[in-house]
Chains A and B, each alone.
Chain A
Amino acid sequence: MNAPSPLDELERRLVRATQAGLPLVPRPYARLAEALGLSEAEVIARLQAMLERGAIRRIGVVPNHYAIGYTANGMSVWDVADEQVDAVGEFLGRQAAVTHCYRRPRRLPDWPYNLFAMVHGKSRAEALAQVEHLAGRVAAEFGPEFGNIVRGRDVLFSSRILKKTGLRIGAGPREG
């Protein structure tokens, strides 16, 4: 992975101007350019450069999962032997049902799980079935060693969104 490139002042202003969204006008980049004292071409070029270096993952709509019918947001968590966790993580990450897949530290004794894979279903039953299907795929992939590799798993459903604002970068200078 590339080293992070800290925001320069112009990018910071561009992030601040767009983190709530792009203006819904025929020429949104011209509108941003006007607010930032740039040309439309400079705004487009800067956004393109940020996309290319991965500072912007993508530009587009962000659907509200609940509103588009994915009411069952399941965080599947897996306790995978340390030597195998990357192989299982790569494998789970390739499955269509999984929208995010990360390795994270265990917090023993409270929390034995080191692999997190998010699934989204239109019902809890559908999300649970997806996780069972994933477990079946992992078992088929890793064979008889499966039971030693995946030692436990669980699915945590969200019962409520308490907050969802996304990233907010403040107006001030960088902290620290």
Chain B
Amino acid sequence: MAEHHPLDATDRAIINALQGDFPLVPEPFAAAAAPLGLSEAELLARLQTLLEQGSLTRFGPLFQIERLGGAFCLAAMAVPPEDFERVAEIVNSFPQVAHNYAREHRLNMWFVLATETPAGIAAAVAAIEAATGLTVLPFPKEREYFVDMRLTA
């Protein structure tokens, strides 16, 4: 997990301003820097540092995999606590596992599968069950009411 690096007011302004609408123009950093009162070089250097120190997980396009013909699916497992690390290693080794979180519940491991086709989800669930010997409960989304991950830094 990322260490906590203190963010100054400029870092926060960058994070708050650039969570979307990054300009699609030939010199987008210059265009994005101007309203922040920064130079292109300053913005590039700040972004580099924020990425290196882990304050940003990435910078770029966020793809909507379903619109690209792929699929996402949340899934959960009840992992015996004494076996948790071993199972986490197995689950994380699957490239289809995009995120994996330990959560405090009897269902204590929650992960997101991302595959290039809807059929890939069922295949990944079966493969993870075979590799771990545990039941995987898939929670496909039946409806999306809202998604916007923007948070104020």
Contact = CB atoms under 8 A, between A and B. Distances in A.
Q: Which of A50, A61, A161, A175 has the most CB of B within 10 A?
A: A61
Interface in A121-176: 154, 156-170, 174-176
Contacts of B115: 175
Given A59-B61, A67-B4, A158 B26 contact: no
Interface in B85-122: 88, 91-92, 95, 97-107, 109-111, 114-117, 119-120
B125 interface: no
B1 interface: yes
B28 A159 contact: no
Contacts of B9: none
Contacts of A75: 103, 110
Interface residues of A, number: 83
A26 B40 contact: yes
A133 B55 CA distance: 29
Contact of A174 (B21, B116, B141): B116
Main secondary structure of the interface of B (DSSP, over half): mixed
Interface in A30-67: 30, 40, 44, 47-48, 50-51, 53-67
A84 interface: no
A67 B100 CA distance: 18
Contacts of A65: 151
B83 interface: no
Contacts of B7: 68
A156 B104 contact: yes
A102 B21 CA distance: 25
30 contacts: A4-B66, A4-B69, A5-B67, A20-B58, A21-B60, A24-B44, A24-B51, A26-B27, A59-B22, A61-B59, A62-B57, A62-B59, A62-B149, A63-B15, A63-B19, A64-B56, A94-B146, A100-B147, A100-B149, A104-B139, A156-B103, A156-B105, A161-B1, A161-B101, A162-B88, A162-B111, A163-B99, A164-B100, A166-B58, A168-B114
